A and B are shown apart, each in its own frame.
Chain A
Amino acid sequence: MTALLETPPEAPAARARSLPLWANPRLGLLVLLVVLVVLFTALRPSFLDVDFTLVPMQADISVYVVVGLAQLAVLSLGHMNMAVGRMAAMSAFAMGLAYQELGTPLVVDVLIGLAVGAGLGALAGLVISRTGVNSFVVTLALDFALVGLVSLLYAKATDGVSFGAQPGGMAALRTDTFADYCAGNVCGPPVPLIVPIAVVAALLVGLLFRWSRTGREILMTGASVKAAELSGIPVGRRVVQAHALSGLLSGLAGFLLAVNNGAFSAGIGDAFLLPSFLAPVLGGTLLVGGAVSVLGTFLGATITQVIYKGLNLLQFQVDQLKLYIGLVLIVALSLDRVRHVLAERRGARA
C-alpha cells in the first residue's frame, strides 16, 4: 500500500507516538463521546434514565468492548479474524453443553467454553503460521466451516435453537446490578454485574500488550515479521498465541451476550463481525499491525452503543442507525488523517 504513495521508501511515516497532545486521537473520541451524550440528553432527557437506558447500555457496551478486543488481539499482528462470531458461538455452545451434560457450576462451564474458543483461535493461528496463508482467507474459511458446524451441533444437542436450562447464576448476572446488593441507594452504583468482567478483560489485554514480554513480542511481530525473526522472537508461537487470545476473547464475548440474552443460543455471534472491527478501528488501531489501543477500543465500542441507544430513543429505525455509525466512522478516520498530516507538518517545521 505504501508503495502507491509518492513518499520514497526511505521516508517512513511517523506515527502518533511523537505527536502533540491535541493530535491524540483518543482525546478526540472522548470529546465526541461527551458531545454525543450531552446532545442526546438535551433531545431526550430519558437518555440518562438508569433502568431503561444506562443499565442495558452498559451491558451492551461490555459485550462489544470484548468483541472489539477479540479483533484487536489479531490486529496487533496485522492479521484479521473473520471468525470472531463463530468462535463465540462455538464457545457458547460448549458452555451450554457442559452444563447440560455435566451439570457443572457456571464457572467451570465458562472455563470449558473459553478453552474451546482459545483452541479454535490457536488452530487458526497454527494454520496461518505454518502455511503462511493470509489470515483473512484462513479465518474466513474457518468461519464458513463453523457456521455449518454450529447449527449442526445445536440441532444435535438441543431443540435446534438454544439450550433449555442455564447454569445457576446466569440470571443474576443478567438482571442484577451492584445497587441490588446494597442497603437502599446509599452505596453500590447501578452497574450490571457483567461490567467488571469486561473491564477486567480490557485491563488484562492492556497489561499484556503494554508490559508483558509476550504481548510486546506479538506487537513487534506485527511491526515487522522479518525483523522479529532476526531479533530472536519465536514468531510462529506469537502468531498462535495472538489468535488463541482472539478466540478466547470471542468466547468471553459470546458468554457475555448469552448472559444478556438469558440463554446459550445458536444465534450468538451472528452480529459480531462488523462491530469487532468498528470498535478498534474507530479507536485508532490500524490494520497494519504493531500498535493497538485498548482504551481506543473501549471508547470506540462505547461511542457506537451510545449512538445506537440515542438514535433509538429518537425513534430511528435500527437499520437506519447504521447510516450514522458509518458516517461517524468515516468522518472520524478522515479527521484523524487530516490532524495527523497537520501535526506532522508542524513537527517538521519546528
Chain B
Amino acid sequence: MILSASGLVKTFPGVRALDGASLSLAAGSVHALLGENGAGKSTLVKILTGVYRPDGGTIELDGKPVHFTGPLDALRAGIGVVHQERNLVTEFSVAENIVLHHLPRRFGVVRRSRVRDEARRCLDLLDLDLDPDAPVSTLSVAQAQLVEIAKALSVDNRVLLLDEPTASLTGDEADRLYAIVRKLTGSGHAVVLVSHKLEEVFAVADTVTVLRDGRSVAEGQPLSAYTRDEVVDLMVGRAHAAVSLAARTPLSSDAAALSLTDVATSYGHADVSFDVAPGEIYGLYGLVGAGRTELAKALLGLGSVTAGTVSVHGTPVRISGVGEALRRHRIGYVTENRKEEGLFLEQPITRNIGVTVWHRLTRLGLIRDRAEASLVDDYRQRLGIRLATPKQLAGQLSGGNQQKVSLAKWLAADCGILIVDEPTVGIDVRTKAAFHELIAGLAGQGMAILLISSDLPEIVTLADRIGVMAGFRLRGELPNDGDYERMSQSIIRLIHTPLIPAAPH
C-alpha cells in the first residue's frame, strides 16, 4: 500500500463530515472513491492533501505515519490533487499556474524560460496544445480543468487525486484524460478517482471505497466484485428504498398553476414546454450544467425569457424579479446554493424566515417582533427545525436544518407555486427522507411544485411526472410509475439518445 488512511474524523460546526472514514491505495491502480453528495468525499480528499487537518485517525505513506501541515507538505510528499473547485490564479498565465508551487528561480528572480519549459513538459504529458503564455482567464472551463491536471502532474507524484475531474469535460476530453490516467498507473502511480459518473468509474477503476455518512461502507474492494446496482445500494443505503410516501392524487384541474410554452431564455434555453398543476410535483431531471437552475432563474426574472409564454394560473406573465414573482404570483424558489443564495448565514434564524413577510408583520411602519417570533415558532414546529434559540445564527445550524430554514421563508410567504432546486444536496440520508415527506406533504396541500434534481432516486420517489433536461433543452417527459429500475433506465436513455450521433466512438 502506498497510502492508507484509517479512522479519519472531521467535524465542522453543526456537521460531522467524516466519522471514521478509511481508504487504502495500492501502487499502479486506479481507486474509485464513491458516495452520494455530502457523504464526505471532498472532505476526505482535502484531508489527504493537507488542506484540512483531521480531528482523529491516521494517515500512512509507505507504512510510515504522516501529518501534513499544509497543502505544500502533502505535495512534497508526492500527493498531487485536482480539487473539485477551480483553483487557478486567473490573472496568471497557464505556465505560471502549472509551476506556481515551485517557481524556478535564481536569486529570487523567476526564470521565465524554465517556467515555460516545465509547463510545456507537463502540457505534453496530457497532449495538450495550449499556449503556455495565455492568461488562464481566456481559457474555457474544460481547458482550465486540464491545466489543473497538468499542474498536479508537475511534481513527480506517486499519488494523484482527481475530484470529479470530468464534470466539465466533453466525452473526448474525458477519454484523453483517462488514457493519461492509465499511462500513469502503468508507470507505478496510484490514482484516486472521485466521480459521480458510474459508467466512467466502471470503465477505469480497479478498486473501490464507498463512503456513506462519513464512514467507509466498502473499503478497498476490487470493483469487479460489484455490479453497478450493488454499488448504488451501498452509496444510498437500504434506508432509502424503505421510504414509502403516502399516495397523492394531483388535483385535476385544467388550469395549470405554472405553464411554459416554447420558452427560450437569455441563458440559451430553447423550446421548453411543460406545465405543473396544483398539487402536482413535476420533476425536472438533468445533470449538472444541463440548464435547470438557469431555467428557474429565468422564470423568476433574474435572466430573461426571450420567446414563448410563461403562464401562471392561465394568465401569461412577464416577471421582472423575485419580489414580483413572490408578491404578485406567489412563486417561491428554494435555491440549490443554500449557503450563498438561500440563507443569510450571519443573521439570526428569525430574520432568515421573516425576510419574505416583513411587509405583513408591520404596524405603523414598524415590524412587530412578537409576530415574527410566533411565525418562526410556528415553522420550527411544523418543519421540525432543531435550534438552540431563534436568535441563533443560521450559519450555526446543520445542513438539514439550514435547508428547512431556507424552505420556511417561502412557506411563510404562502406560496402557491414552489420551485425546489436540489433540496437534499449535502444532507444526510435520514434527514433526506424526512425532507421528501415534507415536500410530498406540501403537494398534498395543493401546492404546485417544480422539483429540480440530479438525484435519480429522489426524483423517482417524489415526482408525478419527470421532464428530462440536457443542453438547455427538454429532451422528453415521462409519467412516473414508481419503478426505480425502469424509470432510471428510461431517463438515462433520454439524456443520452440524442447525443450519440454527436459523439462518435
A residues contacting B by CB (< 8 A) are 8-15, 17-18, 207, 211-213, 216-217, 219-220, 223-224, 226-234, 290-291
Give Cα A231–Cα B355 distance, bound, in whole angstroms: 7
B340 engages A223 (CB within 8 Å): no
B residues contacting A by CB (< 8 A) are 12-13, 15, 17, 46, 52, 300, 302, 321-323, 325-327, 333, 335, 337, 339-348, 351, 355-356, 358-359, 362, 365-367, 369, 389, 391-393, 395-396, 409, 413
B391 engages A18 (CB within 8 Å): yes
B367 engages A232 (CB within 8 Å): no
Q: Select which of B52, B346, B391, B409 is within 8 A of A231 by beta carbon.
A: B409
B356 engages A231 (CB within 8 Å): yes
Query: Known interface pairs A231-B356, A232-B322. Does A17 touch B396 (Cβ–Cβ under 8 Å)?
Result: no
A230 engages B333 (CB within 8 Å): yes
Query: Known interface pairs A11-B13, A17-B391, A216-B351. Does A232 touch B343 (Cβ–Cβ under 8 Å)?
Result: no
Task: For A211, give the chain B residue with the smallest CB separation.
Answer: B366
Instruction: Give every chain B residue within 8 A of A213 (Cβ-Cβ).
Output: 358-359, 362, 365, 367
A223 engages B409 (CB within 8 Å): no
- The B contact surface, by secondary structure, is mixed
Instruction: Give every chain B residue within 8 A of A15 (Cβ-Cβ).
Output: 346, 393
Task: For B406, give the chain A residue with the smallest CB separation.
Answer: A227
Instruction: Give every chain B residue within 8 A of A17 (Cβ-Cβ).
Output: 348, 391, 393
Instruction: Give every chain B residue within 8 A of A233 (Cβ-Cβ).
Output: 323, 355
B340 engages A290 (CB within 8 Å): no
B409 engages A290 (CB within 8 Å): no
B322 engages A18 (CB within 8 Å): no
Q: Select which of A8, A216, A232, A290 is within 8 A of B346 by beta carbon.
A: A290
Instruction: Give every chain B residue within 8 A of A14 (Cβ-Cβ).
Output: 393, 395-396
Instruction: Give every chain B residue within 8 A of A231 (Cβ-Cβ).
Output: 322, 355-356, 409
Other A-B contacts than A10-B17, A224-B341, 19 sampled, CB-CB below 8 A, are A8-B52, A10-B15, A12-B346, A12-B396, A15-B393, A17-B348, A211-B369, A213-B367, A217-B355, A220-B347, A223-B347, A224-B343, A226-B337, A229-B302, A231-B322, A232-B322, A232-B323, A290-B344, A290-B346
B358 engages A217 (CB within 8 Å): yes
A232 engages B326 (CB within 8 Å): yes
Instruction: Give every chain B residue within 8 A of A207 (Cβ-Cβ).
Output: 366
* Whole-angstrom distance between the Cβ of A57 and the nearest chain B Cβ: 33
Q: List 13 A-B contacts (CB under 8 A).
A: A10-B12, A14-B393, A14-B395, A15-B393, A207-B366, A220-B351, A227-B341, A227-B343, A229-B322, A230-B333, A231-B322, A232-B326, A233-B355
Give Cα A227–Cα B369 distance, bound, in whole angstroms: 22
* Whole-angstrom distance between the Cβ of B71 and the nearest chain A Cβ: 12
**Lowest 9 A-B CB distances belong to which pairs?**
A12-B395, A232-B323, A211-B366, A213-B358, A232-B322, A10-B12, A223-B344, A232-B326, A12-B345
Give Cα A333–Cα B187 distance, bound, in whole angstroms: 56
Give Cα A243–Cα B334 distance, bound, in whole angstroms: 30
Task: For A224, give the chain B residue with the smallest CB separation.
Answer: B344
Give Cα A140–Cα B104 distance, bound, in whole angstroms: 41
* Whole-angstrom distance between the Cβ of A343 and the nearest chain B Cβ: 14
B344 engages A220 (CB within 8 Å): yes
Give Cα A15–Cα B347 distance, bound, in whole angstroms: 9
B396 engages A18 (CB within 8 Å): yes
Give Cα A8–Cα B366 distance, bound, in whole angstroms: 38
Query: Known interface pairs A12-B393, A212-B366, A220-B351. Does A232 touch B327 (Cβ–Cβ under 8 Å)?
Result: yes
Task: For B392, give the chain A residue with the smallest CB separation.
Answer: A18
B340 engages A226 (CB within 8 Å): yes
